[in-house]
Chain A
Amino acid sequence: MSKRMTLAEAIAEHVRDGDRVAMGVHLEALIPFAAGLEMVRQGKKELTLIGPISDMLFDLLIGAGCVKRVIAAWVGNVSAGLGHNYRRAVEQGVPHPIVVEDHSNFTIQLALLAGAYGLPYVPARTVLGSDILRVSPALSTAPSPLDGKPTVIVPPLEPDVAILAVQRSDEEGNVHVWGNLGVAVEAGLASRKIIVLAEEVVPRDIIRSDPNRVLWPSWKVAAVVEVPGGCHPSPVPGYYNRDHDFFHQYHEESRTREGFLNWLERWVYGLPAREAYLEALGERWASLRARRSAPSVPVDYGY
């Protein structure tokens, strides 16, 4: 059964106001920016964003007023610096106050792991002694029942929806992803449903030829959306490189609230179609495309 939809349809139908949404789960690569910008255009409200490090995606969703709560390890602009919208929201309540639930990368992964495998909690030895333990409503410590040593108790996280960027998918949502995986496996399995944002939708035979590369069972996938260039300005291995300048320009322009609103006007409201957005990048987009091919040697599943 085909689950193909347009991006606007998928976001309208499967991301509801108030949802807990996992995004940016590969860390700095494969960030589903096109989906985030569509959430802004549709005026989503009261979202809880879940992800370890989402580069500037969480910052712009916060600035656009879509977010009530952030469950993350790091929010900012990885190569440029602090997240100005994140700062304005937390420090001044602009455009409105948000709740921050601090995690580390590892604890957010373990929370998703508990969610993914139906575990009541996961014990860990990280964040001991950190003030993250003091301020986080989710994390606590208890003596280990085995040896009495201090143990961090990480409760499960189960997002309503995970928006997961992949290189290719069939129309049912069986996907191939390569490159670093970050917390993608756990985030997909822990979520009630998945929106797949694919560079390409391909025939199912291509996916079936290499089942080791499939991360989640397709019954979890609610929508398959083909958006070439959908992760720009983040990189997609084999397709395009990171647009560092775009991150740095955003950093400068979002320094003031007015500058950020202008940025939204130009890149989000002014360019609703992804093709037009990529065209507006001009020659830069062509220069970001993978310059040389580096294919792997096929594996043989013969019997």
Chain B
Amino acid sequence: MAYTPQEWMVVAAAREIRDGEVVFVGMRLPLLAFAVAKCRHAPRAVGLFENGVIRDTPPAELLYTMGDNPNIHQAVSCTSMLTVMGLLQRGEVDAGFIGGAEVDRFGNLNTSYIGPPERPRVKLPGSGGGVDIACLAKRLLIIMPHEKKRFVERVSFITSPGYGDGPGWRERHGLPRGGPDVIISTLGVFRFDPRTREAYLASYRPGVTPEEVCAHTGWALRVAPDCEPGPVPTEEELALVRRFDPDGFWTRPRA
């Protein structure tokens, strides 16, 4: 069954959510991946949303934002941001799931400024809850489209910290836990070397090659010795993606 790179990315991302986990679900693509995971392999996962919503069932319809009414209807709880952020800060969130504009080899994300903050070339929207999730979740899942200009050697501005400049950095800054576990892009799945804290290519989308992934990455990307094609989406998974995104708003290829 044919699928778009975006659909593959969402399927690969959904598979990172484990059953029974408490997941802090960020805006945009994580909304879709969480809904797919809930329906397929993680029926007992619970989603926390920064607007204060707690949900344990998939929404009835496509979500454009977490504040859409279908995300409120039949929620477990509609509470304040303080409740969900407090649970996150206490260490009760297993996985945080966010997107990003720019990521680097240590999993640091920039969603704030391209160029110097005092005179940026591009003003990006900012953190939202991204930095809170990156600092405080037990593990961080990052999902973003793969472009060379987005996968950079070093982000110029750390909005949401990954491993900073390598081992020991998070500890030195007083971060209580966590760090990136995986980056899922339209080209592949990247994991982090526990020794160097550097992202490496763990698997790639069927149909592309590790060489192509490296060519589209802005640093000398290491490729795992056992790197192999990543999951082939099942018909069930694709049907779920299309159920929650019937017109391909999130998953059709963009120009």
CB contact between B174 and one of A78, A149, A185, A241 (< 8 Å): that residue: A149
Q: Does A75 contact B (CB under 8 A)?
A: yes
Q: Does B122 contact A (CB under 8 A)?
A: yes
Q: Does B64 contact A (CB under 8 A)?
A: yes
In the complex, chain B residues whose CB is within 8 Å of the CB of A125: 89, 135-136, 174-176
Q: Does B27 contact A (CB under 8 A)?
A: yes
When chains A and B are docked, how far (Å) is the Cα of A106 from the Cα of B82?
8
When chains A and B are docked, how far (Å) is the Cα of A72 from the Cα of B126?
8
Q: How many A-B residue pairs have CB under 8 A?
A: 188
Does A26 contact B67, Cβ atoms closer than 8 Å? yes
Nearest neighbor of A183 in chain B, beta-carbon distance? B81
Q: Does A218 contact B (CB under 8 A)?
A: no
Q: Does A127 contact B (CB under 8 A)?
A: yes
In the complex, chain A residues whose CB is within 8 Å of the CB of B249: 79
Q: Does B161 contact A (CB under 8 A)?
A: yes
When chains A and B are docked, how far (Å) is the Cα of A28 from the Cα of B63?
12
In the complex, chain B residues whose CB is within 8 Å of the CB of A83: 125
- One digit per residue, 1 when the CB lies within 8 angstroms of any chain A CB and 0 when it does not, for chain B 140-176 equals 0000000000000000011111001000011001111
Q: Does A35 contact B (CB under 8 A)?
A: no
Does A28 contact B132, Cβ atoms closer than 8 Å? no
Does A126 contact B122, Cβ atoms closer than 8 Å? no
Does B127 contact A180, Cβ atoms closer than 8 Å? no
Nearest neighbor of B172 in chain A, beta-carbon distance? A129
In the complex, chain A residues whose CB is within 8 Å of the CB of B117: 131, 135
Does B112 contact A132, Cβ atoms closer than 8 Å? yes
Does A52 contact B128, Cβ atoms closer than 8 Å? yes
Q: Does A115 contact B (CB under 8 A)?
A: no
When chains A and B are docked, how far (Å) is the Cα of A284 from the Cα of B73?
22
When chains A and B are docked, how far (Å) is the Cα of A244 from the Cα of B170?
39
CB contact between A73 and one of B122, B123, B129 (< 8 Å): that residue: B129
Taking CB atoms and an 8 Å cut-off, the chain A residues in 175-202 that contact chain B are 178-186
Q: Does B120 contact A (CB under 8 A)?
A: yes
Q: Does B69 contact A (CB under 8 A)?
A: yes
Q: Does A150 contact B (CB under 8 A)?
A: yes
When chains A and B are docked, how far (Å) is the Cα of A233 from the Cα of B159?
29
In the complex, chain A residues whose CB is within 8 Å of the CB of B65: 28, 55, 78-79, 242
Taking CB atoms and an 8 Å cut-off, the chain A residues in 75-98 that contact chain B are 75-76, 78-79, 82-83, 86-87, 90-91
In the complex, chain A residues whose CB is within 8 Å of the CB of B4: none
Does A130 contact B78, Cβ atoms closer than 8 Å? no
Q: Does A102 contact B (CB under 8 A)?
A: yes
CB contact between B69 and one of A73, A103, A105, A242 (< 8 Å): that residue: A242
Does A180 contact B82, Cβ atoms closer than 8 Å? no
CB contact between B161 and one of A102, A130, A237 (< 8 Å): that residue: A130
- One digit per residue, 1 when the CB lies within 8 angstroms of any chain A CB and 0 when it does not, for chain B 108-135 equals 0000100001001111111111111011
Tell me the B residues contacting A by CB distance below 8 Å: 27-28, 49-53, 64-69, 72-73, 78-82, 85, 88-89, 112, 117, 120-132, 134-136, 157-161, 164, 169-170, 173-176, 249
The 27 sampled A-B contact pairs (Cβ below 8 Å) are A26-B51, A27-B67, A29-B67, A29-B68, A29-B72, A52-B81, A52-B128, A73-B126, A73-B127, A73-B129, A74-B125, A76-B125, A78-B64, A87-B123, A109-B81, A109-B82, A125-B135, A125-B175, A141-B174, A150-B174, A178-B78, A179-B72, A181-B52, A183-B82, A235-B69, A242-B64, A290-B69
Q: A73-B126, A74-B127, A128-B173 are in contact. List 6 more A-B contacts (CB 8 A).
A: A27-B81, A29-B69, A125-B175, A131-B117, A290-B69, A294-B73
